[in-house]
Each structure stands twice: as C-alpha cells, then as structure tokens.
Amino acid sequence: MTSTVENGVVSTEPSHSEPDTEPDAAEVAPETVQETPEEPAKPLPKRRVGWVFAVAVVFWAIDLVTKNLVVANLEGKEPVKILGGLVYLQVIRNPGAAFSMATGMTWVLALVALAVVIAIVWLSRRLRSIGWAIGLGLVLAGATGNLTDRIFRAPGGLQGHVVDFISAFAPNGKGFAIFNIADSAICVGGALIVLLSLLGKDYDGTSTKDKKKVEKTREEQA
C-alpha cells in the first residue's frame, strides 16, 4: 500500500507490486506417477478334451482286441516264448488289481476303477495340456479296459476276472508279474503325469514357474 497527503486528507492506494508467482495449491498438478505396465497375459492353449478320449479309445481297443485274441488262441495252452524269451504269452485270469495285486478284492477294485474313470472325465473339461491329456487318456484307457473285464467276463457283475497275458523274462510270472495292455497304459500314463508335475507343467496348460515369475513381478511393483 502507498499513502499520499492531498489537502490534508490521507489517501491510500494499493501498491502495484509484482503479483505472487506461487501457484495456488489447488492448481498444483498432481505428481505424475510412472507405472510399469504389466506384461500382457499369454492366451490360454486350446482345450484338449478330444486328445483324452482319442487316446483312451485307441488303447482301450488295443487292450480289448489283444485280450480276445489270446483268450481265443492261448487259453489252456503252454506259454508261448517270443523275443528270445524276453516275453512269454499265456492267459491268466486275475481277480486282483494290476500286476496280480489285491487278489480277492475284485468288487472294490471295480468301484475304484469306476471312480477313476469318472474323475478323469470330469477333469478333462479343464485340460489344456497335450501331455496331461495323453497321460490321463492312457490312465482312462487302462482303467476302462480292466473295468470292462470286471463287468463282462466271468463270473461277471463287478466280479469278473481280468485277462492278463504278458509274462516278462520267464513264464508264469516267475521273472516279473503277469500283466496286460491296460496295466501298461496305467503305468505309462501315471509316470507321464508325475513327470509333467515335476517339470512344473500344469493340466491347464500353464507352468508353475511362469506363475511364480508373475507373482514375483507383482510383489516388486507393489
């Protein structure tokens, strides 16, 4: 303010000082925060339901055909040596589980096989991994193949005896347990699933390693 005296009257006038150059707090632009954009999520692989049932049908058919052939041609006969004695073919009616285990629990094993089939069919809707689809398809084929025997072969009614016909290294299961194609499919499929799990490959087509990497990136950005 400036004061002047004119005719004995003191008047005040606002001084023309330089305007305040500091901006109003409300006009201050918020600080720009630079965020690191997340990597775009990878598209999920296609569903692999068809692979499960294709593998299952093929190996179930192979198991059924080979059992019918050996029953028609080898039952009641001496073991047939092939591959220089590496394998002997002979028909054995097995009331137990794979490799002649759990003999005497036929109906229980039939119910277990039925539960396995239902579980695989339910899980197959979410499958996106070809490896898992093949593994589960093999297990499904094996479980269905032996379940078919328990339902339709004598004495029947979930009490049917499974046809085993492969005796490795020696006849009558002296070198190794006697088994069939279904048993082999179950073992190979199970081993494949275990291997995929150890490698961090999930049934939905993702990898546990990728999931851990994404979680670590999110923690660093938080």
Q: Which residues of the chain have pLDDT under 50?
A: 5, 25, 28, 30-33, 35-36
pLDDT for the residue 214: 60
CB 76 within 8 A of CB 171: no
164 contacts: CB under 8 Å, gap ≥ 6: 91, 92, 93, 94, 100, 178, 179, 180, 183
pLDDT recorded at residue 184: 95
Task: Single out the catalytic residue among 164, 202, 204, 210.
Answer: 164
What are the angstrom distances between the C-alpha of 101 and each of 97, 124, 162, 166?
Answer: 5, 28, 12, 15
Q: What is the pLDDT of residue 28?
A: 47
What is the model's pLDDT at position 107? 73
Angle at 65 between CA 60 and CA 68, to 5 degrees: 125
Please report the pLDDT score of residue 96 as a whole number.
67
Could you tell me if 88 and 167 are in contact, meaning their C-beta atoms sit under 8 angstroms apart?
A: yes
Tell the burial category of 187 from Cβ atoms under 10 Å away from its Cβ (0-12, 13-18, 19+): middle
49-to-68, 120, 123, 129, 139 alpha-carbon distances in Å: 29, 10, 9, 10, 14
Instruction: Out of 20, 183, 204, 210, pick the active-site residue.
Output: 183
Judge contact between 67 and 165, C-beta under 8 A: yes
Q: Which residues lie across from 201 on neighbouring strands?
A: 207
Residue 97 is predicted with a pLDDT of 59
Rg (the chain; Cα; Å): 38
Distance CA 134, CA 193 (A): 9
Q: What is the pTM of this model?
A: 0.72
Dist CA 148 CA 106 (whole Å): 13
Q: Is-contact 56 137, C-beta < 8 A?
A: yes
Is 63 a known active-site residue?
Answer: no
Q: At what angle do helices 181-198 and 49-74 cross, to 10 degrees?
A: 150
pLDDT at 125: 86
Peptide bond between residue 40 and the one before it cis (omega within 30 degrees of 0): no
Active site residue 202: no
